[in-house]
Structure 1
C-alpha cells in the first residue's frame, strides 16, 4: 500500500505543477486524504469479507487452542501453533483475540461453559437422587475423563488458576455452576461435598501411574459418594 500511495502522490505532484503553489497544495491534500480513505475502506472490506465468509473461524480457533493446550501446555501455546492446528492464517488469531493470553482465557472459559452445561443437563434429566448419583459418576468417567484432551485441559486450567487470579474466575464460576446444578437434588452443603468428590476423583486419576481404568474410577467414585450418601451404595 505504501508503494501505491507513493506513486499516487508523485502523479499528483506532476499533475499539479501547472497550478499555483496554493492550488497545488490544496489539490495534493485533498487527493492524499482520498487515497487514505480508500485504503481504509479496502482494509475494512477485507475484514468484513473474512467475517462473512468464515463465521465459524473464531470457534475453530478456540477449539484448536484447547487441542494445543492439551498437547503443549499453556506455556507452549502460541499464536503460530494455534493457527496451524486450526488451519487458518496466522493473522486470524490476532484478528479475533487481542493477545495469546486473551485467546487462552477465552478457550478455558469456553471449556468451562461447555462442561458446566453438560453437567447441568445431566442433573436436569435425573428424576431421583439415585439417578442423580448415576449422573454424577457419569460426569466423572464419561465427561471429565472421557478423553486425554479433556483430562489435560482440566489440569492445565487448575495449574493456571494456581498462578493467575484471572483463571480462578473461571474455576470459581465452574464450581458455582456445578453446585447450583447439584442443588436440584441435594442441599447446599451436600452439593459442595459432592463437588469436592468430583474434583478429587478427577485429579487423583490424572496423577496416578499407571492410570486406573475407567471401571476402577467409577467404582471408587461410587464408594466415595456412598460414604456421604447411603443410597449411592451399589446394589448387589
Structure 2
C-alpha cells in the first residue's frame, strides 16, 4: 500500500538534535541568519528532516526557543529549591545574576534573539510570558510576589548589561542590591510558602 501515512522515524533522537542544532545556529548566526540548510548541516541530518518534523522555520524556531526556556527555567528553579532559607535564597539570586551556571554567554545571546523574535511572533511571546511566570514562581519559594517581580528583573536585566560592559561584574554590589531589594520591599515569603 503506497501511502501518505508517516512511518515511525528510524532515528528517534533526530528531532531533539534538530532543535539543539537550531539553537546552535541561532547563537552563531542570529535568527536572521538561520536557515533550514544550516540547521540540517549542524544536526547532521538530511535537509528533508526539517519539513518532516516542523511546519516551517517559524514552527522550528518556536519549538527551539520553548526548549531553551524550559531548560533555563529548570536551572533557575533548582538553584532556588536548594536554598534552605532567605539568606541562601538571596545567594542563589546573586548566583543567577553573577554566575555562568545560569546564563552563559551563549545563553544570553539566545535570550537576546528570543526577545527580539518574540516581538513579532505570538507563540514565542507566549513562551516568554510563561518563562517569566515560572521564574517568579521559583522565586516565590522564598519571597513575596512583589519582591519576586523586582528580583526577576534584576536576574534578567543585569546579565544582559554585563554582556555589554567592559568591567567585570561586582558580586558584592549585586549581593548588596539583592539584599536591599529583599529587605526594602518586605523580606521573606509569608509562612507556608517557602
Q: TM-score, normalised by structure 1?
A: 0.72
SS at 2:100's partner residue? Answer: helix
Greater mean deviation of Cα atoms: 115-124 or 133-142: 133-142
Map of 1:225 onto structure 2: 178
Kept in 2: contact 1:79–1:94 (CA 8 A): no
CA distance in 2, matches of 1:203, 1:220: 16
Partner of 1:185: 142
SS in 1 for 2:125: helix
Counterpart position of 2:190: none
Partner of residue 145, structure 1? 103
- Residues 188 and 62 (structure 1 numbering): CA distance in 2 closer, same or farther, change over 3 Å? same
Go from structure 1 to structure 2 and tell me whether the alpha carbon gap of 1:223 and 1:120 turns closer, same or farther (over 3 Å shift).
same
The equivalent position to 2:73 in structure 1, one of 110, 116, 119, is 116
The TM-score normalised by the length of structure 2 is: 0.86
* Change over 3 Å in CA distance of 1:78–1:122 after alignment to 2: same
List, as ranges, runs of 4+ consecutive aligned residues in structure 1 with deviation greater than 4 Å.
none
Give the deviation of 1:164 after TM superposition.
Answer: 3.1
Q: Deviations over 1:113-170 (max 9, x none)?
A: 1111111121111111111111122223223432x21111011111112333332211
Higher helix residue share: 1
Task: Note the C-alpha offset of 1:194.
Answer: 0.4
Contact 2:75 2:102 in 1 (8 A): no
Give the C-alpha shift of residue 93 in structure 1: 1.4
Higher relative contact order (CA 8 A, sep 6+): 2
Contact 2:23 2:64 in 1 (8 A): yes
Contact 1:123–1:184 (8 Å) recurs in 2:
yes
Extract unaligned runs of 5+ from structure 2.
185-194
SS at match of 2:119: helix
Distance 1:174 1:57 in 2: 26
Q: Distance in 2 between matches of 1:227 and 1:120?
A: 22
1:14 alignment counterpart: none
Q: Which has the larger radius of gyration?
A: 1
CA deviation after TM superposition for structure 1 residue 76, in Å: 1.0
Q: Which residue of 2 aligns with 1:133?
A: 90
CA distance in 1, matches of 2:115, 2:51: 26
Q: Deviation per CA, 1:184-224, whole angstroms, max 9, x where unpaired?
A: 1000100111001111102211232x3x43xx253442232
Alpha-carbon distance, 1:44 to partner: 4.6
